[in-house]
Copies of this chain bind each other. A is one copy, B any other.
Amino acid sequence: MQPMPESREDAEEEWIVEKIYEAVLDQRLRPGVKLSEAELCEAFGVGRMRIRRSLLLLASREVVELLPNRGAFVAKPTAQQATDIFEARLIMEPPLLKMVLERAQAPDLAELEQHLRAESQAREAGRRREAIRLSGLFHTHVAQLAGNAVMMRAVKDLVARSSLIIGLYGDPGLTSCRDDEHASIIEALRAHEAEQAQELMVSHLQHLKEHLDLGLQKHAPQNLVQLFAAESLS
């Protein structure tokens, strides 16, 4: 039962959820996009029940929103949710760096550097989507090296939702983390400077948040009534 870590049956389920997570991460799936059951059935070649369960899973993670009798849509985090999410990341992620230094082995850090190189290469080669995805994955990779499954999952969810937030409120120019900040974090880890690594992560997350305009959503009609109501009042 617990000797083997995972002998799960929901391999199929988990796989669909993972695929949608990936699509959200590299912004192929934008906030508000409708996730039709029929389309997803065809896309993944599975029955409606599987899709339904997967969507429920994603909704419980607040990555999709389930409207009654309307269907499933990629979530559109509110400004309040966005601040909550980044606040949570500021709480959770810096301590992970200390844990990484306490537990991770040399090959683990090498793996992180390898990840960073892939990220830079994708950016330079103009593979924008892959660059965005790897940029987000950097944070989950750090969480994984910290060796705590609970924190790992929490960070993973927050990173995915952050991707949605950047899609909604982000500057169209800077669509993801600047990788030089990732590089400096790794540098501090290499030097076993736990304190500095944590501070760098803090400022990195703050920069990420500062490059958002939480005042108004980008391509977000979403509430035509109050939108045009405001227009008529002005």
Contact = CB atoms under 8 A, between A and B. Distances in A.
Interface in A122-154: 148-151, 154
A91 B151 contact: yes
Nearest to A9: B68
Interface in A144-170: 148-151, 154, 158
A150 B1 contact: no
A89 to B, nearest CB: 9
Interface stretch (A52-60, A182-190, A200-208): A52-60
Interface string A51-85: 00100110011000011110000000010110011
Given A57-B60, A68-B9, A84 B150 contact: yes
Contacts of A158: 150
Interface residues of A, number: 32
A10 interface: yes
Interface in A9-53: 9-10, 53
A204 B1 CA distance: 32
A92 B158 CA distance: 14
Given A66-B10, A92-B91, A151 B1 contact: no
A87 B9 contact: no
Contacts of A81: 149-150
Given A57-B60, A154-B154, A91 B95 contact: yes
B88 A148 contact: yes
Interface of A: 1-2, 9-10, 53, 56-57, 60-61, 66-69, 78, 80-81, 84-85, 87-88, 91-92, 95, 99, 148-151, 154, 158, 222-223
Given A57-B60, A85-B150, A91-B91, 4 more contacts: A10-B66, A56-B57, A81-B149, A81-B150
